[in-house]
Amino acid sequence: MKRLVPLSICVFILWLPSVVEAQQKVPILVYHSIEEFHGHGSKELYVSPDNFEKQMNFLKENGYTLLTFERWKDIRNVNKPIFITFDDGYKNNLNAFTLFKKLTTERFKPSGTIFVISDFIGQSNRLSKTDLKLLADSGFISIQSHTATHPDLTKIVNYNDELKGSKVKIEQMTGKPVIALSYPYGNFNDQVVLVTKRVYMYGITTTPGPYIKKGIKNELYLLPRTYVKNSTTLEEFKKIVKTD
């Protein structure tokens, strides 16, 4: 009987890490505009700079690590990994950049990903080429692709300009690799995943919920994201980002 005790401890220790890994939750958040809503477009797609600051402060005070997709593999090595993403490349995302700089300390290094629509770059309410270069060089923001023209990818047949074309164009502007694609409207199907795999390392949906590794096929092309909306309260935000 005595000999059995150490053996059972060994079995327990071997079993423990796989359980911890299986339960790890990685929230991936999606924002659009970081600005007060002034009556243009859908109100829910605007988060005020004030609310955004409260949300990021919560992450700072509670030991989260803000990652970008270049550091995907670090989800296993850092405390409370979380991804902050912004779709559509609005000019007002500069407000997020300003806040990230403000919140930076020795211990807290915020970062986020802006998914830009490459043909829309430089339009009046969108980030310009100069903005993108500045953001990419800052180390706070990774610039990734949200296609060239924002089509529903499940309804087109020629993907080249949308996937490869947008990637090349953005890389030329930022001088940094584009490795992640956020599907417009969150829409994808088997064919979209297949073509995305040829060009990108990650495909990002808007299927809600945190990422939990399941080991299923094409998992990195089906990454879930949860919307943070104009109406999201801080209490709701805390539930969205819960990692245990």
Q: Does the protein bind Zn ion through residue 88 (CB under 5 A)?
A: yes
Q: Does the protein bind Zn ion through residue 87 (CB under 5 A)?
A: yes
Rounded least distance, CB 79 to Zn ion, Å: 31
Q: What's the token pair of residue 172?
A: 């030329």
Cβ atoms of 220 and 234 within 8 Å: the answer is no
Decide whether 81 or 184 has the Cβ nearer to Zn ion: 184
Helices 49-61 and 94-103: crossing angle in degrees, nearest 10, is 30
User: Within the chain, what is the greatest distance between any pair of CA atoms?
Assistant: 76
Rounded least distance, CB 153 to Zn ion, Å: 11
Which one of the spans 9-17, 39-47, 79-87, 102-110 is the region binding Zn ion (CB under 5 A)?
79-87
Which one of the spans 81-89, 133-141, 190-198, 199-207 is the region binding Zn ion (CB under 5 A)?
81-89
Helix (H) or strand (E) holding 170: helix 166-174
For CA atoms 50, 51, 54, 56, the dihedral sign is negative
Decide whether 80 or 225 has the Cβ nearer to Zn ion: 225
Decide whether 46 or 64 has the Cβ nearer to Zn ion: 46
CA–CA gap between residue 242 and residue 172 (Å, rounded)? 37
Query: Which residues sit at the interface with Zn ion, rule CB under 5 A?
Result: 87-88, 184
